[in-house]
Amino acid sequence: MKVLVIGSGGREHALVWRLAQSPLVESLAAAPGNPGIARIARCVPANVQNPEELLQVAEAVDADLTVAGPEAPLVAGVVDAFRAAGRAIVGPTKAAAQLEGSKIFAKRFMSQAGIPTARFVAVETEADALRALDDFGFPVVLKADGLAAGKGVVVAGSREEAEQTIRGLLSGKLVGAAGSKLVVEEFLTGEEVSFIVLSDGERALALEPTQDHKAVYDGDTGPNTGGMGAYCDSRILTPEQRQEIMDRIITPAIEQMRANGTPFTGFLYAGLMMTSAGPKVLEFNVRLGDPETQCLLHRLDCDFAEVLLAAARGSIGDARLAWRPEPSVCVVLAAAGYPGKPRTGDRIEGIEEAERAGAAVFHAGTRSGPNGLETAGGRVLGVTSAGEDLAGAIARTYEAVRMIRFEGMHYRTDIGRKGLKRWATVQR
């Protein structure tokens, strides 16, 4: 079968890398892809915000199966366009993608379905937002309603910071039109877990749990990013916790979406806080996570193309996912300036050495320059390895990380350490 992957980041490189290993896959294309993807797939330029353009690419490469990586094409309606043209695609419709496209939609949906989440109010004016602050105390969480590439959420520690953020969001200064409406919500504490399922609209197949590291600096300090690294280890959740998440969050979500006439198909990502009162949803995403996908697909031990095709055809039936027992770790190498405006054009060296040492090096913000590979975005590479245990996976990944260099490169040195700490405490 001919497969098309939409997107150009590390998640999409990992998708293409895993699909290239499937005996079912005869050819692979990506729109628009990146230089890492170009080594294993045909890259076709395209604007991922434009469903019609993406459909033309799928027709040009005669794709039997398409997978959309990022949220933008999904929220723009790429699945609706493909289905209308009779092309198989994995992802939610435009209506279902509102679960990620609008935080207010998602919060109201959770109330409707009885899904545990932080207490909230939706506001559109400064006066209402300031009034809402009195109901929550500090810290308080302020969220832009629309898509803001991970920059629309601020945890404000004081009234002064909250007021400044509210003005910045509502005026459009912080994230543009995405901030014209806000969610003000209760601050939750606990461990964060990314729990992703693949749904055909009726059933849901759970992937392994992962943990992302959103803050830019070690020890979860500094501003939030799209994700500075992740690890995948089955011990992140006990079987009982997984069951509770399925029963209280995933199944009610899938059933309510069906009942509302907008069945959810594709990857549903629940960003969870494991609170003392059980799991609560921080956010829904309507796609795979980045960098969660890099470590997930590294651990996957079955034919991903087969499972994706079943989902795209509308029935995951009795499809199963299999995983290697060894944990995996992905460390993101970021460019100077990230998560602010990243500097570009810095020459990248050492990838081959890291690959020879056994790591998978997924490209994200890279481009081919006159002197070779150079930086072209905030998150540049995702270095991914497995190990016999989490400590081993961490050690192997950082060994490969140290072989790669570019001017201004920065990364967190503590990816996965949360897991080590948690299990050290449990065993004692």
Residues that bind ligand AMP in the complex, under the rule CB under 6 A: 118, 141, 143, 153, 155, 185-188, 192, 214, 224, 271, 282-283
The smaller minimum CB distance to ligand GLY, of residues 123 and 416, is found at 416
138 binds, among ligand GLY, ligand AMP, none (CB under 5 to 8 A by kind): none
Please count the residues of this chain forming the interface with ligand GLY, following the rule CB under 6 A: 7
Q: Which residues of 89-122 are buried (b: 16+ CB within 10 A; e: fewer)?
A: bbbbbbbbbbbbbbbbbbbebbeebebbbbebbb
Span of 13-21, 197-205, 243-251, 287-295 interacting with ligand GLY by CB under 6 A = 287-295
The smaller minimum CB distance to ligand AMP, of residues 186 and 399, is found at 186
Structure tokens given for 143: 């969220």
The smaller minimum CB distance to ligand AMP, of residues 192 and 399, is found at 192
The smaller minimum CB distance to ligand GLY, of residues 233 and 292, is found at 292
Residue found by looking up tokens 């016999």 in the block: 388
Tell me if 303 contacts ligand GLY by CB under 6 A. Answer: no
227 binds, among ligand GLY, ligand AMP, none (CB under 5 to 8 A by kind): ligand GLY
Q: How far apart are CA 92 and CA 98, in angstroms?
A: 9
Tell me if 416 contacts ligand GLY by CB under 6 A. Answer: no
Span of 136-144, 256-264, 283-291, 409-417 interacting with ligand GLY by CB under 6 A = 283-291
- CA distances to 76, 205, 219, 256 from 59, rounded to whole Å, are 19, 29, 47, 34
Name the residue among 149, 395, 408 with its Cα closest to residue 290: 149
Q: How far apart are CA 52 and CA 49, in angstroms?
A: 9
* Site residues (CB under 6 A) for ligand GLY, limited to 12-51: none
Pairing of strands 27-32, 42-43: parallel
For ligand AMP, the nearest residue by Cβ is 283
* Site residues (CB under 6 A) for ligand GLY, limited to 72-131: none
Integer distance in angstroms from the first to the last C-alpha of the chain?
Answer: 51
The smaller minimum CB distance to ligand GLY, of residues 330 and 393, is found at 330
The smaller minimum CB distance to ligand GLY, of residues 212 and 346, is found at 212
The number of residues in the chain equals 428
224 binds, among ligand GLY, ligand AMP, none (CB under 5 to 8 A by kind): ligand AMP
Q: How far apart are CA 61 and CA 18, in angstroms?
A: 19
Tell me if 285 contacts ligand GLY by CB under 6 A. Answer: yes
The smaller minimum CB distance to ligand GLY, of residues 123 and 226, is found at 226
Percentages (nearest 5) of helix, strand, coil residues in the chain: 35, 30, 35
Q: In sequence order, which residues have a C-beta less than 8 Å from that of residue 356 and are 6 or more positions away?
A: none
Q: Please, are residues 298 and 14 in contact by the beta-carbon 8 Å criterion?
A: yes
Query: Which listed residue (12, 80, 200, 212) binds ligand GLY by CB under 6 A?
Result: 212
Catalog residues that contact ligand GLY under the rule CB under 6 A. Answer: 212, 226-227, 285, 289-290, 292
